[in-house]
Amino acid sequence: MQLALPYRLLNKVIVVMSLIGVGVALVDTGFTLAPWLQHIFHIFYLLIVLFGFFALIGRYIGKKSPLAISKVAIFDLLTSGAIFILLMAHFFELARFGLAIPIDHFIAIKIAVFVTFIREISDNNFNLNRAFLNPGQFFILSFLFVVLIGSLLLMMPHATTKPISYIDALFTATSAVCVTGLVVVDTATRFTTFGQLIIIGLIQIGGLGILTFVTYFSYFFKGGVSYETRLSMTEMSFSPRVGDMITTLKSILYVTFGIEALAAVLIYLSIYNLPGMSVPERLFFSVFHAISAFCNAGFSTFSANLYDDSLRFNYPLQLIISMTFLFGGLGFIIVVNLLRYLRHRAQRLLFQNDPRFGNQPWLLSINSRITLITSSALLLIGLVGVMIFEYHGILAEHRSFFGKLVTALFAAATPRTAGFNIADMDMLALPTIMLTIFLMWVGASPNSTGGGIKTSTLAIALLNTLSLARGQTKVELFQREIADISIRRAFAIMWLSLLVIAIGVSLISYNQPELELIKVIFECFSAYSTVGLSLNLTPELSTFNKLVIAVIMFVGRVGMLTIFVALLKNRFQRNYHYPTEEITIN
C-alpha cells in the first residue's frame, strides 16, 4: 500500500505530461519552430520517457511475482526494449552530430512519448458513467471530438502543401472520421505525407470508433473493465449479452487489423511493377488503401482515385480492394461468425469421423444469414444493372469481357459505402445513377465500417411488407420470429434517413439554385450513407453547403435514430398498457 500511493501519483503526473507531450510533438511536427524551442521540447520528450521507465519499475515493485509471464508483462518488456533501442540510436546521432541534428525530424522520440502516453493512460480505470451521459451521447461526442481535433491537425502548415481554409479542413476531417470519402481539396496534391497520415489515422479511428480502442486498452492493461462500461459498450455495439462485450471488441480488432494487413500485402504485390513509384511509396500506397478500403472510406493518394491511368486497368488491384471493402461492409460480428462457420465446415470435411466436429445447429446466426443473402442479392442486382446500362458506356474502354466484368463488379460494390471511383462519374447513364443512389441508400451491414440504412433494415422492411400482403400478423424467417422492436427500428431508420436527405437537398438547392438537382440528390445520398461518390459536385459547393454536407455525413455516420435516442431516451419504463386501438391506414 505504501508503494501503491507514490506509484498512482507518478502515474497521474506522467499521464498529464505525456498528454501534453503528444500535443507538443504534433505541434513540433506540424509547424516550423525556432531551434531553441525544439531543443526545449526535446528535453521535455526525454523527461517523459525517463519518468515512464520509473513508472514501469514502480508498477512491478511490491508484487508477489513481478516476473510472472503475462500479456501485459510481455508488452511492457517489448515496448521498453524498443524505446531503449530508439534512445540509444538517438543518443548515438547526438554524439556524432551534436546539437546540430534536426531534432524536429527525429520521429523515434515522439513515438516513444506516444507509446508512454498510451501505456500510462491505459493503467487507469476507464468508466462510462451513465449517470451523466447515456451510451448514445458518449458515441456521438466521441466522433465529434475526433472530428474537431482532426480539423485542427489538418490546419497545420506541414500537413498541407499550401494553406487550406478551416472549412475545408473541417470537411476533410469529417469525411475521414465518418469514413465517407467526399473531398473538397485533392488529397494527393494538397496534403503532404504527414497530412495523409493524419487522414488515414482519422479513418482508422472513425471506422472502429475511439471508444473501441479506449475500452480494449483498458481491458488489456487492467485485466477488465467496469460493469457500467460493459453495459454501455454493449448498448453501443448491440452485443447480445453483456459478457460478450470484451470478446466482441477483441474480435473486431483482430479481424480489422488482420484483414488490413493481408490486404496491404496483396495490394503491394499487385502494384510491385507500377512505374514511377519507389518501394517506400508503394508501401505507403498499400497501407493507405488497405485501411481506406476496409473502413469503406474511399480516400486515395491518387488525384483521380482508382480511375488513374496507371490503375484503371489493374484488375487484380480492383478485385483485392473490392473484396476488402466488401468484408469491411459485412460487419465485424458477421465476418467473425462467417469465419467460424467456414472453419467448422472445413473441420467436418477433414475429420468426418471425429465426434468433436459434429453438426452444430445455428452456427451461422440469423443475422449472418439475412446479411449474406441481402448483400449477395444487392451485389448481383448492381452487377447485372451496370453490365446492362454501361456495357457500351463506361465499360467500353475495357477490351476484354473479364475486364468489363471486374469493372462492373467494382462499380456495383463501391456504392455500398466504399466510394472508390474507377470511372468518370459524369459519364454514367441516368439508369445507372438511379441504381447507384438506391445502392448507396441501402449501404453496408450493421456493426460495420459502412453507412446507409443497412442491409438488415431493407430485408426486415421487405419481409414485413410481404407478411402484411399475406395477411400474417408476424414476420417469420428461418423458423424464427423477428422481434417487433427490430421492425419498428427498421422503419424508423428508413424514414429518418429520407428526412435528413430531403432537408439537405432543400438547403443546398436553396443556397445554390444553379446546381443540377440530380447531382444534389446524388451528393446528399452519398453523404448520408458515407459513400464518397460524387458527380463531380463537391468542389463546386459553397461554404454553407460544405457545412450542410459535413453535417449530413456526421448524422449518417452516427445515425439519426442514435441521435434521437441520445436526446430523448427515457430510462424508466412504465409498467402499464393502454387499450389497443387499430388505426385506419390505406
User: For the chain, what is the mean pLDDT?
Assistant: 79
Instruction: Specify if 332 maps to a domain.
Output: no
Bridge partners (DSSP) of residue 481 are 476
Residues 465, 475 contacting (CB under 8 angstroms): no
pLDDT band with cut points at 50, 70 and 90 for residue 510:
very high
Q: What is the pLDDT of residues 220-274, one digit of tens each?
A: 444 444 444 454 555 445 455 544 556 666 677 778 888 889 999 999 998 887 7
Domain co-membership, 239 together with 266: yes
Is 206 in the same domain as 276?
yes
Q: Which residues, listed in sequence order, are joined to residue 476 by a DSSP beta bridge?
A: 481
Residue 336 lies in a domain: no
Q: Which of 327, 355, 385 is the last residue of a domain?
A: 327
Q: Are residues 233 and 379 in the same domain?
A: no
**Same-domain status, 115 and 90:** yes
**248 and 139 belong to one structural domain:** yes
Are 377 and 524 in a shared domain?
yes
Residue 477 DSSP class: E
| In a shared domain, residues 47 and 185 | no
Q: How many CB atoms lie within 10 A of CB 208?
A: 20
Segment among 4-8, 28-32, 39-43, 295-299 with least mean pLDDT:
4-8
* Integer Cα distance of 469 and 561 in angstroms: 27
Q: Is 201 helix (H, G, I), strand (E, B) or coil?
A: helix
Q: Identify the burial level of 96 via C-beta atoms within 10 angstroms of its C-beta, where 0-12 means exposed, 13-18 middle and 19 or more buried.
A: exposed
Same domain, residue pair 458 and 526 = yes
- Listed residue (451, 416, 436) closest to 561, CA to CA: 451
> Cell for 549?
454536407
- Give pLDDT tens digits for 95-120: 666 555 554 456 777 777 887 777 77
Identify the CA nearest to 371 among candidates 290, 452, 465, 289.
Answer: 452
Domain count within the chain: 3
In a domain, 79, yes or no: yes
Lowest mean pLDDT, pick from 43-52, 156-165, 233-242: 233-242
317 located within any domain: yes
- Select from 518, 505, 514 the least CA-distant residue to 540: 514
Average pLDDT of the residues in 68-78: 64
Choose the final residue of a domain: 327, 356, 390: 327
Q: Residues 286, 268: contact at Cβ < 8 Å?
A: yes
Look up residue 152 and give its three cell numbers: 485542427
Tens digits of per-residue pLDDT, 333-366? Answer: 788 788 888 877 777 777 766 666 666 666 778 8
Mark whether 54 and 203 lie in a shared domain: no
Contacts of 62 (CB under 8 A, 6+ apart): 3, 4
Residue among 235, 260, 297, 242 nearest 447 (CA): 235
Question: Is 360 within a domain?
Answer: no
What confidence score (pLDDT) does residue 511 get? 92
Residue 112: what pLDDT? 78
Q: Is residue 130 part of a domain?
A: no
Residue finishing a domain among 69, 88, 121: 121
* Distant-in-sequence, close-in-space partners of 482: CB < 8 Å, separation ≥ 6: 460, 463, 464, 474, 475, 476
- Pair (85, 60) in one structural domain: yes
User: Is 275 found in the same domain as 141?
Assistant: yes
Separation of alpha carbons 57 and 49, rounded Å: 13
Q: What percent of the chain has pLDDT over 70?
A: 78
Which residue range forms the structural domain that includes residue 44? 4-121
Cα–Cα distances in angstroms (integers) from residue 409 to residues 329, 381, 403, 440, 535, in the given order? 15, 10, 10, 15, 19
> Is residue 574 assigned to a domain?
no
Looking at mean pLDDT, say which of 135-144, 221-230, 516-525 comes out highest: 516-525
For residue 233, which phi and psi values (nearest 5 degrees)?
-65, -30
Note whether 260 and 185 are same-domain residues.
yes
pLDDT class of 512 with cuts at 50, 70, 90: very high
121-125, 281-285, 306-310, 448-452: which has the minimum mean pLDDT? 121-125
Please check whether residue 357 lies inside any domain of the structure: no
Residue that wins the pLDDT comparison between 274 and 58: 274
CA–CA separation, 100 vs 94, rounded Å?
A: 8
Angle at 152 (CA atoms; ends 147, 156), nearest 5 degrees: 140
pLDDT tens sequence across 367-387 = 888 888 999 999 999 999 999
So what's the pLDDT on residue 2? 47
